[in-house]
Amino acid sequence: MEITAGMVKELRQQSGAGILECKNALTETKGDIEEAIVALRKKGMAKAEKKGDRNAGDGAIGTYIHAGNKIGVLLKLHCETDFVANTDEFQELNKDISMHIAAARPRFVSRDEVTEEVLTQEREIFAHQAKESGKPDNIIEKMVTGKMEKFYEENCLLEQPFIKDTQKTIEELIKEKIAKLGENITIGQFSRMEITR
């Protein structure tokens, strides 16, 4: 199948990838734009994985104040250079993640930050709930494991589905930007504040 300039343009608009990358992806997928997007995302993730060990010593502080001024977020997002930190792409990512934090209320950046005390408490609660259901011990253990995975997904920022596109997690969103901007990007820390009655 002939890959037209229009097809390449459409794929570029949807994926943000370069002309040559788009053309190769379309050739590889015989002109199927949806499959080409998936192929580009996979390649981008692979590139992002390679950049994950590089030092992200620069970055920017992002802020988000929700309508009504009752919820606010401060986010420290790292990258490798001030050049990338000042790009519109990076600033948009910072704002998107800050907005996500305001809406999704994560407690931790990643599961590595969850304290042993919190884990023990959650496991005890889940085990108690499972025992109350009258299930046998081997099933209880599986139920607790499943509930702990759900706990991580709900409370760890990197594992939460992105509010603007629930098909990807925050970690996947960051990896897409790493692939696009060519630098490692990490979340330093965040603070979510809310005025409640």
Instruction: Tell me, yes or no, whether 46 and 134 share the same domain.
Output: no
Asked if 163 and 141 sit in the same domain, the reply is: no
Q: Quick one: 124 and 165 in the same domain?
A: no
139 and 164 assigned to the same domain: no
Residues 164 and 96 in one domain: yes
Asked if residue 138 and residue 97 are part of one domain, the reply reads no
CA pair distance 130, 137, nearest whole angstrom = 9
Tokens (6 digits) for 91? 């600033």
Q: What is the pLDDT of residues 26-52, one digit of tens each?
A: 888 888 888 888 887 777 654 555 555
- Whether residues 142 and 126 share a domain: the answer is yes
Domain extent at residue 24: 5-51
Could you tell me if 137 and 104 lie in one domain? no
Query: Which range (49-58, 100-109, 140-149) has the least confidence?
Result: 49-58
Number of domains in the chain: 3
pLDDT tens per residue across span 150-191: 999 999 999 999 999 999 999 999 998 988 888 899 999 999
CATH number of the domain at 20, please: 1.10.8.10
pTM: 0.69
The pLDDT of residue 65 is above 90? yes
